[in-house]
Structure 1
């Protein structure tokens, strides 16, 4: 497994997504003033997410970083495979990753309940996509930390398991609605003078159940990630076969309080 060297000092805010010419008001209520959130108007996906969540609509954020990824919608319980496919720009498709994961004994239906196994699959995905300038790191704990914030500001991308609410945002359901998200950006709203202000730090995310860019509080996502204790009893009784790691999803080989970091070099 690859490791990541200490990150460089935080960079100035920037957006690394491609500039698009799409009308930013398309699909938005006509009552919304198109002049708001001007700092993001060249990037409709980011603009729309900030407007919908009422984040930084009147002035630019203190710091931010965003990398655009094409959305891929999942079929079946393949959220982790879809998030990983988005990470490699679809160069390794969800179906290809499903075949590899089955051969490796990681999954039965597309489920991925182990961060360690996801790290191994990620290496195969990057090899299949012929991407060789990415380093990966399996992190245990510290999703809401200065280290993670600095990594995201410097362009790192995360794969994070969490509990998904009915609108797919982070929640606390003991792991019964475990889901995977690709964290592709960060927004620090204001310079509050508090290094880790839970109400001031948001992440930009893609996942397999929506084509839209999600904007979530990083502290909430970290709490949800730390809440993945057990496999859903409801799923366990649905008649399908699921592959669980030794110790379950809450164990050392599972999902709880773990995530993957991907950094280009």
Structure 2
């Protein structure tokens, strides 16, 4: 008599690979689920999360770094510059109040700020209104990726920088068509730069802006290149029903945004 062997048990189900890399946190991942084997040098959770997300100094502490925390704010409409300034002021003045002042002074219609000169004028008015004292601020033309600017960041300075924002809000080169503002609130020097900061891979800046609640870590050289490419107002924006205020010479002119930024010391 022939004996039929028993049917073997089914194989265990294959495990699906995780969509999240073990060394890269999703922005909204709970702190309890983070990989504490990386970025252990960054005691601040927000800084640690940013470095983990952007793969900066995962396993070793950087040569030097400086970071100042500012509360995040999400912009409503084209108010990125006003939101960045409000964050810098630690919410002593709201973006809505800044918009009222900017419209009254003729700097903006909808929240857009396409002039660094007007942004420095707005800073002066806001600091007087809120009685923010002992803060030095100035408009810089050129020199974003320079030894002087980097050392000022290491000393605690912060910047307001216009740049072109990519789909993920990181710096890109679109001739100013996606012009955006970022608050630069820190810097990371990965390796000893010696006497000069010449390596574009060696310097990261820590940034906040109005389209994300999370701290970003971008290469300073990339932000500098994006700042230098702000040549023209987007033709698509020109076709919208909103009317924007542009400086004489456009955003690529001396009174615009290209190759300019604002530096604040003592914030």
Q: What does residue 209 of structure 1 align with? A: 211
CA offset at residue 26 of structure 1? 7.2
1:117-196 mapped onto 2 (5 Å cutoff) = 117-193=118-194, 195-196=196-197
User: Structure 2, unaligned stretches of length 5 or more?
Assistant: 1-26
SS in structure 1 opposite 2:214? strand
Q: What does residue 264 of structure 2 align with? A: 262
SS in structure 2 opposite 1:211? coil
**Is 1:92–1:128's contact at 8 Å kept on the other side of the alignment?**
no
Q: Distance in 1 between matches of 2:193 and 2:148?
A: 18
**Is 1:91–1:128's contact at 8 Å kept on the other side of the alignment?**
no
Q: Distance in 2 between matches of 1:26 and 1:182?
A: 21
Q: Distance in 2 between matches of 1:132 and 1:256?
A: 29
Q: Distance in 2 between matches of 1:203 and 1:36?
A: 19
CA offset at residue 114 of structure 1? 0.2
**Is 1:142–1:148's contact at 8 Å kept on the other side of the alignment?**
yes
SS in structure 2 opposite 1:159? strand
Q: Distance in 1 between matches of 2:193 and 2:186?
A: 20
Q: TM-score, normalised by structure 2?
A: 0.87
Q: Distance in 1 between matches of 2:30 and 2:174?
A: 32
1:1-265 mapped onto 2 (5 Å cutoff) = 27=29, 33-40=35-42, 42-193=43-194, 195-196=196-197, 197-264=199-266
Deviation track 1:53-72 (CA, whole Å, cap 9, x = no partner) reads 11111111101000000001
Q: Distance in 2 between matches of 1:31 and 1:264?
A: 36
CA offset at residue 239 of structure 1? 1.5
SS in structure 2 opposite 1:136? strand
Deviation track 1:169-208 (CA, whole Å, cap 9, x = no partner) reads 0000000000000000000011154622100000000000
CA offset at residue 125 of structure 1? 1.7
Q: Give the count of matched residue pairs.
A: 240
SS in structure 1 opposite 2:71? coil
CA offset at residue 39 of structure 1? 1.1
SS in structure 1 opposite 2:38? coil
SS in structure 1 opposite 2:90? coil
CA offset at residue 33 of structure 1? 2.9
Question: Segments of 4+ in structure 1 off by > 3 A?
Answer: 28-32
User: Structure 1, unaligned stretches of length 5 or more?
Assistant: 1-24
**Compared with structure 1, are the counterparts of its residues 103 and 52 closer, same or farther at alpha carbon in structure 2 (3 Å cutoff)?**
same
Question: Which structure is larger by alpha-carbon Rg, 1 or 2?
Answer: 2
Q: What does residue 14 of structure 1 align with? A: none
